[in-house]
Amino acid sequence: MSEPVAKPKSSAALVQSRRNALRSYLGAYGFMAPAGVLVIIFFLIPVAIVLYLSVTNLASSNFTSDLAKMEFIGLKNYQTLLNDQFARKIFFNTIFYVLVTLSLFNVSLALIVSLLTTHIDRSAGFVFRALWILPRITSPVVYILIWKRMMAEAPFGILNQFNEFLGQPTYNYVATNPWVFVVVVNGFIGVSFGMIIFTSAIESIPKDLLNASLVDGSSRMQRIRYVILPLIRWPLLFVVTYQTLSLLTSFVEIQLLTDGGPGLYRTEVWSLTAYHRALSNYFGNAQWGYGSAFAVLLVMIGVVLAVIYMRVFRFDELVAEPRVEAL
């Protein structure tokens, strides 16, 4: 029996193993390349362009065919922004909108819908969930038009026609309670994302575990509290994180519903402002540079929030290598 001694590698073998290492290295990047290209084209490059625009004075009022006339003005746009008398209001509008919609609809109602529909007959649960997906898959324009038709003032709105028919006073719903409608209309869209994630998380809890809890003496409510909720902790935190960021950047529905009004900036949110300033100014002047400054701040807030969430919720634990099963 010879001793197992590590043989010195021949130079040919060395070249071979280097080649293998290179190949697997290239393989890894090859697989990541499509996603990488998408990130570069649709995220990094636009961010770079917007970053650049935000330090220029580019606007339709000074726009010529000679873009070189665009002037570098440093942080002046940011200065203007901080001194903007409405920036503060819009900032708090945004926080209000994101917090309320997220907590009431995107998380709570999503959780309630998925808990309810997983505790009833399977096919009935499926039907209810399908209904909740409708707002998401309907085109925003159509979806908002439906709401506007329902809620429009007398004599156009369907609800108000009912009111008139019943001899009740009529209301200008959206104008009197714009925030209620902004939150509800967006909330109905937002429910489906969390609902799908929570439902699949609940359904992937082993049946034995759920049965064991009942046999151990829990009611169905106690089972939700002590077993189901702790077991879907990661999906919950993920939905909170993801939906915060997507609410921060969403504005199409608000634009279509109230366009930030009624009145001055009553329901205007940050991302909508960026759009208004850059592309659809009331006064016909598209301030591309100034709007970009809004957008840049939004991206920064989003990145900071994402990092905070990842720290607080310890997402690194979620993706950590599983400990060796001691079975």
Residues that bind another protein (CB under 8 A): 206, 208-209, 211-219, 222, 226-227, 230-231, 233, 323, 325-327
Least distance (Å) between residue 270 CB and another protein? 38
User: Closest approach of Cβ 325 to another protein, in Å?
Assistant: 7
Sign of CA dihedral 197, 199, 202, 203: negative
Residue 200: CB minimum distance to another protein, A:
18
Output 205 or 306, the one with its CB closest to another protein: 205
Measured from the Cβ of residue 224, the count of other Cβ atoms closer than 10 Å reads 16
Closest approach of Cβ 312 to another protein, in Å? Answer: 19
Distance CA 156, CA 150 (A): 9
What is the rounded CA–CA span in Å between residue 226 and residue 274?
44
State which residue, 102 or 232, has the beta carbon closest to another protein: 232
Q: Quote the least distance from Cβ 113 to another protein, whole Å.
A: 23
At 72 the three-state DSSP class reads strand
In the complex with another protein, which residue's Cβ is closer, 168 or 219?
219
Nearer to another protein by Cβ, of 66 and 208: the residue is 208
Residue 265 or 315 having the CB closest to another protein: 315
Phi, psi dihedrals of residue 275, rounded to the nearest 5°: -65, -50
Alpha helices, H only, the chain: 11-39, 45-53, 76-83, 87-101, 110-118, 122-137, 140-151, 158-165, 173-176, 178-203, 207-215, 220-223, 229-231, 233-249, 252-257, 270-279, 288-312, 315-318
From CA 6, how far away is CA 169, in angstroms rounded?
93
User: Quick one: 4 or 230, whose CB is closer to another protein?
Assistant: 230
CA distance 252 to 259: 9
Cβ(288)–Cβ(58) under 8 Å? yes
- Of residues 67 and 326, the one with the C-beta less far from another protein: 326
If the CB atoms of residues 142 and 215 are measured against another protein, the closer one turns out to be 215
CB of 208 to another protein, least distance (A): 4
Q: How far is the CB of 130 from another protein (least distance, A)?
A: 21
Contacts of 161 (CB under 8 A, 6+ apart): 154, 155
Q: Which residue has the tokens 């369907």?
A: 158
In one-letter notation, the amino acid at residue 165 is F
Least distance in Å: CB of 207 to another protein?
A: 9
∠ CA 64-68-73 to the nearest 5 degrees?
A: 100
Q: Tell me, rounded to whole angstroms, the distance of Cα 196 from its chain centroid.
A: 15
